[in-house]
Structure 1
Amino acid sequence: MWLVIGTVVALFAVGGRWDIAPAAWLFPVFLLRFARTSRPLGGLVLVWLASWAGAMFWIWQMAVPMNGTTVLAGLTFGTVLALPYVADRLLARRLGTAGALLLFPMALVVSEFLLGTFAPFGTVIGLLANTQFDHLPLLQVAAVTGSYGVGFLIGGCATVVNWAWEHPPSWRTARVVGAYIALLAVVVVGGAARTAWFPVDTTRTVRIAGLNADMALIHQQMTALGRPDVKVSAGQGALPRFDPDTVKPESTAVIDDLFARTRRAAQAGAKIVIWSENAAYVSHAGLPALLSQARSVARQEHIYLLVADNVHLPNPEDSRDETHLIGPDGTVLWTYQKSHPVPGMEPYRPGNGVAPVVSTPYGRLAGVICYDADFPAMMRADADIMLVPGGDWPEIGRVHTEMASLRAIENGYSLVRQDYVGWSAAFDNQGHVLSTQNTLVDQDLWLVDVPVRGVTTPYRVIGDAFAWLCLAGTVVLLGFGVFRRRPPAAGTPRPTTQREPEPMARQVAR
């Protein structure tokens, strides 16, 4: 029963479209109860299957194309996220009270951290903080611990509830439960105090405009290629690969429209204009002309222009998904190549993994591309505003953009994500939503006023120190649990290696 309840509830806490925030707090309670009360081998295999089912459910509901890479991704996520249950089931009873209570939440943090830092899929799936988007006071803990702190609190809830479940009511049980409630209260009340008493500085803002390539012109481009039925959906954040020079008039029309709307944005008061990911498809030979036109428009309109293009080359790995930030004087301030192409979907060679930052009159601007924002380590940029061109599809757009808001809280900058066929949004440095646009139905200019001053958060300074501490603590507890001799059960006779001496009274009597 606990397995069924835990598995069903977990389906609504996978960081997907149908998440229910309380479900993320409940499902580990039931899965942990099942793991602890079942036979080790059979029980843990079933917990692993439940974890794998959750990962595959996420892939299905997000309309991610099913192929070898995504099935392997689901298997990987399911396996790694099941490991905390394995550690708890096999070793928690060998530890003292504190160790038994801490092992599962720390191991949960470790699993999230390893996936988010070293796996090619980042935190797009498996990060429990992604399920708590509407609870900003709780999410403020990410400014100190990173988003992994939310996973620790959820894991701690599971072990504390199970501790109370396994022990009769007593002052000891009350102290354990009370200590956890106090910790959770400190986090939530502290987060509420941060948002209430230390509001975001809005005394100075900058108007930022976001825009996408025109869908009607894209359709003409695809029709000229003989592919009129191609749509940017069903798991494609970009159009299929093609040589734009083979349909040059249609390709030119798309680019000319982008620049025309860039000028309109400047006339509407925008000082920064950001294009969505892969807005302009160009050949390698056509890139200089694109940049020359971009420099001219930026200089004439006196704006910062973030051009997002896809450079076509015959070898897919040589093609590039990149951005260029151009200043008001026409200078190219950065050229950035996507550092985390989507595995199995984007064959490009990755960039250098460093988010570029430049100082401007509107604060320090930084930029990454779409999927890069799912890797917290590379998002620790010393910036005031993070610009994120994105390219999604209907099923994943809103959720993917909400995930990016965690980076704003972690690092203390505003974040603007312009998303093609998805959900554009701007967030301040505490995660408040400044503005949104559903780009599935609204292709007009999107304008938003964004604070120009960020804050330096502890997380930006210390990085993933909390996650590394959890990793070290998990290793220590695992070692202690493995090598510590399990104490005998009550009433078990103590084994002896030699004959014990007779009691003195019996010796005297003899």
Structure 2
Amino acid sequence: MPHNARIHRETSSPPADKLPTWLWLLLGIATVALAANRWGVALLGWIAPVPFLVVARRMAGWRRWLVFFGVTCTAGLLATAKIITDPVHPALSLLFGIPAGISIWLMIYATEKIRRAKGELTAVYAFAAIVTVVDWFGYSVARQGIWGTMPASQLDNLPLLQLVSLGGLGLVSFIMAWFAATVAVLIGSDQRRRIHPHLYAAAAMITAAHAWGAWRLDRLPPMKTVTVGGVVTDLGLRDGFPSREALARNVDELFARSAVAASRGAALVAWNEVATLLMEKGEEASLKERAARFAREHGVDFVMAYGVVLSRAPLSFDNKYVWYGPDGREIETYRKHHPVPGEPSLRGTDPIRVNARPWGRAAGAICYDYDNPGIVREHSRGGADLVVLPSSDWRGIDPLHTLMTRVSAIQGGFSVVRPVRWATSMAFDQYGRVRASMSAWEDNDRIIMATVPVGQVPTLYRLLGEWPPLLCGLFLLLLSAGAVRSFVRAKQAGKKTRHDRVKQHFDIKNKGVEILYYR
């Protein structure tokens, strides 16, 4: 081989070829695991899929794809294992980690099949569309929240998160996946020059998104404010059912802390999720009477969140809050609409409400309810200025689960106050900025005071909802239709070719018979 030809071949080989397959697989496990959940590295969230996209080019035969499947499941398990702390059972990592690994494998497999059939550029945008649709399916249809999505690694990137006010989380998913796919082609393909304009376009979009987000955060429209007090307890079911004496002391402490919050100027006081338990249905009437009296005496809106035990074995309880006005009148009784998978609480079915209060329009939900964007949109369309979100978490998801609430605040254009047991309580304004924060792991009085603006900020998301996944789904549908059409044409062409061969065979045979006959 001539020297110049050898140089050209070496310079045109993909950079990814310098690393063996096993190392790319290890890099894929590491980037996926380290980008997600606790101690997540936000920068890795942008390139987490790259090693798997690169190594998929080398997959041939079902045995290699099976090994690859095991690798992606390992990555999903390690990412999920990071949230496993007391009192959560380790089996939870299997419950969520294996589906996460399957999802990763399917996305990479589908993208690689498209790349081999349609080429590099089509695969880039197909991957971005697939990620967007899969992320949307997880938080909208499967109701698993934004856990495992690419944007979940960017919860501290407030300028980027402003995009959710335009098109929901799917818009962020598309941009991040677009960038990752172009990087994968840049290092894994010998067609790098063709991808350069698309990489520049993705980089320009990322820059523009951050610039627009920074500009939006700099806006300070004049708004009224209201002071909210969140009251938190440390009592729960972590060590089994509390004694009646412990429950009685807990209720007294909750009301005492609520009185302190009211004395500090709170117009609204809210407890965390299931702040106390009632062991018998008959105990509820006296607790509600005490709550109404408290609201009336202190002249505050009072959101009392508690649980009523319906059965001990198996465990079943009614998880709800009751909202009282300053006159002691009951405004709303709300039951949790979306219990966490495996949570033994009743599912609420009442219509979502937004209540007119003297200081603005307010609504509420309970913890995991706000992992479902459907309730966020209903609150936004109902004109909510403020949402109170009684919650309960554990160390493994602290403060990630609370920070996910800022996405809802930006989408809906309203303030959110989230008092949380065993985690970090926070309050956010309409742009996701933190207005107050209190950790359960520090020495404090378990009362979070937050002054938040009331007055909804209009968002495109309120009007159009999750439109990026819809467009991405349409693109994938058209791509699939084209693939089916090509397959049918190829099959028809194959049939025609076989027909012509058979016809030619019989023509030759008949012609030979005819010659023999005349002879």
TM range (shorter): 0.7 to 0.9
Q: Give the secondary structure class of the aligned counterpart of 2:416.
A: strand
Output the CA distance in 1 between the equivalents of 2:318 and 2:84.
Answer: 25
Bigger drift between 145-154 and 305-314 goes to 145-154
* Cα displacement string for residues 39-83 of structure 1 (whole angstroms, at most 9, x for unaligned residues): 253454344333322332233221263465652332222212332
Q: Would you say 1:212 and 2:223 are equivalent positions? A: no
Q: Does 1:58 align with 2:54?
A: no
Residue 258 of structure 1, CA deviation: 1.2
Give the 3-state SS of the residue equivalent to 2:322 in structure 1.
strand
SS at match of 2:39: coil
Q: Which sits farther off after the overlay, 99-108 or 71-80?
A: 71-80
Task: Give the match's secondary structure for 1:319.
Answer: strand
Gaps of 5+ in 1: 219-231, 233-237, 489-494, 500-510
- 1:348 equivalent in alignment to 2:349: no
Matched, 1:176 2:198: yes
Q: Does 1:262 align with 2:284?
A: no
State the AA in 2 paired with 1:26: I
Instruction: Pick from 59, 62, 66 the counterpart of residue 41 of structure 1.
Output: 62
The answer (yes or no) to whether the contact 1:87–1:478 under 8 Å persists in 2 is no
1:109-138 per-residue CA deviation (whole Å, 9 max, x = no partner) reads: 111111112225332x21221211221111
Give the TM-score taking structure 1 as reference length: 0.84
2:333 alignment partner AA: T
Q: Tell me whether 1:453 sits opposite 2:455 in the alignment.
A: yes
In the TM superposition, residue 337 of structure 1 has moved relative to its aligned partner by 0.8
Alpha-carbon distance in 2 for matches of 1:478, 1:361? 54
Who is 1:466 aligned against?
A: 468
Q: Which residue of structure 1 lines up, in the alignment, with residue 359 of structure 2?
A: 362
User: Does residue 147 of the first structure (1) align with residue 169 of the second (2)?
Assistant: yes
> Which residue of the partner structure matches residue 84 of structure 1?
107
- Rounded to whole Å, the distance in 1 between the matches of 2:324 and 2:293 is 10
Q: 2:48 — aligned with what?
A: 27
Structure number with higher helix proportion? 2
The aligned runs of 1:207-356 (5 Å cut-off) are 207-213=227-233, 215=234, 218=235, 238-239=237-238, 242=241, 247-282=243-278, 283-314=280-311, 319-344=317-342, 346-352=343-349, 355-356=352-353
Return closer, same or farther for 1:470/1:168 CA change in 2, 3 Å cut-off.
Answer: closer
Q: 1:207 to 1:293 in 2, by over 3 A?
A: same
Counterpart-to-counterpart distance in 2, 1:167 and 1:458:
41
> Equivalent residue of 2:419, what SS?
strand
Q: Determine if contact 1:387/1:416 at 8 Å carries over to the other structure.
A: yes
In 1, the alpha carbon distance for the partners of 2:215 and 2:61 equals: 44
Preserved contact between residue 210 and residue 273 of structure 1 (Cα < 8 Å): yes
Distance in 2 of aligned mates of 1:91 and 1:146? 27
Give the 3 Å change call, closer, same or farther, for CA 159–424 of structure 1 in structure 2: same
Is the aligned partner of 1:476 residue 2:481?
no
Within 5 Å, which residues of 2 pair with 1:63-212?
63=84, 65-66=88-89, 70-95=93-118, 99-123=122-146, 125-165=147-187, 166-168=189-191, 170=193, 172-196=194-218, 198-199=219-220, 201=221, 203-212=223-232
Residue 153 of structure 1 aligns to a residue whose secondary structure is: helix
Q: Which residue is equivalent to 1:394?
A: 395
The residue correspondences of 1:2-17 to structure 2 (distance < 5 A) are: 2-14=24-36, 16-17=37-38
SS state at 2:388 partner? strand
Q: Secondary structure at the match of 1:256?
A: helix
String of CA shifts for 1:251-307, please: whole Å, max 9, x gaps.
222212211221111111011111011112113111111111111111111111110
Partner of 1:375: 372
Give, in angstroms, the shift of residue 414 of structure 1: 1.1
CA distance in 1, matches of 2:31, 2:90: 26
Please tell me the residue identity of whatever aligns with 1:207.
T
The answer (yes or no) to whether the contact 1:306–1:326 under 8 Å persists in 2 is yes
Quote the Cα distance in structure 2 between the aligned partners of 1:54 and 1:369. Answer: 31
Distance 1:46 1:192, change over 3 A: farther
Tell me the residue number matched to 2:20: none
Identity of aligned residues (%): 29
Contact 1:13/1:24 (<8 A) preserved: yes
**C-alpha distance in structure 1 between counterparts of 2:159 and 2:92, whole Å:** 37
Contact 1:397 1:419 in 2 (8 A): no
Q: CA deviation at 1:139?
A: 1.0
* Runs of 5+ unmatched residues, structure 2: 1-22, 491-496, 505-519
SS at match of 1:324: strand
**Distance in 2 between residues matched to 1:79 and 1:354, nearest whole Å:** 35
Counterpart AA for 2:57: R
Mapped partners of 2:336, 2:463: distance in 1: 24
Confirm or deny: 8 A CA contact 2:28 2:75 kept in the other structure: no
1:318–1:395 CA distance, 2 compared to 1 (3 A): closer
Amino acid at match of 1:33: V
TM-aligned CA deviation for residue 353 of structure 1: 7.4
Deviates more, 1:54-63 or 1:104-113: 54-63
Corresponding residue of 1:502 = none
Spell out, residue by residue over 1:452-509, the C-alpha distance to the aligned partner (whole angstroms, 9 max, x if none).
1121211122112222222222222233235425999xxxxxx99689xxxxxxxxxx
Question: Could you tell me whether the CA contact under 8 Å between 2:112 and 2:123 is conserved in 1?
Answer: no
Deviation at 1:92, TM superposition (A): 2.5
TM-score, normalised via structure 2 length: 0.83
- Could you tell which deviates more after superposition, 94-103 or 130-139? 94-103
Query: In the alignment, is the contact (CA less than 8 A) between 2:84 and 2:90 conserved in 1?
Result: no
User: How big is the shift at 1:330?
Assistant: 1.2
Q: Which 10-residue stretch deviates more, 477-486 or 74-83?
A: 477-486
Closer, same or farther: CA 40–339 of 1 in aligned 2, 3 Å: farther
Higher mean Cα deviation, 303-312 or 349-358? 349-358
Corresponding residue SS for 1:349: coil
Q: Judge conservation of contact 1:212–1:443 (CA < 8 Å) in 2.
A: no
Q: Alpha-carbon deviations, 1:355-414, whole Å to 9, x = none?
A: 432121222211111111212222221211111111112222211111121111111111
Q: Distance in 2 between matches of 1:335 and 1:136?
A: 34
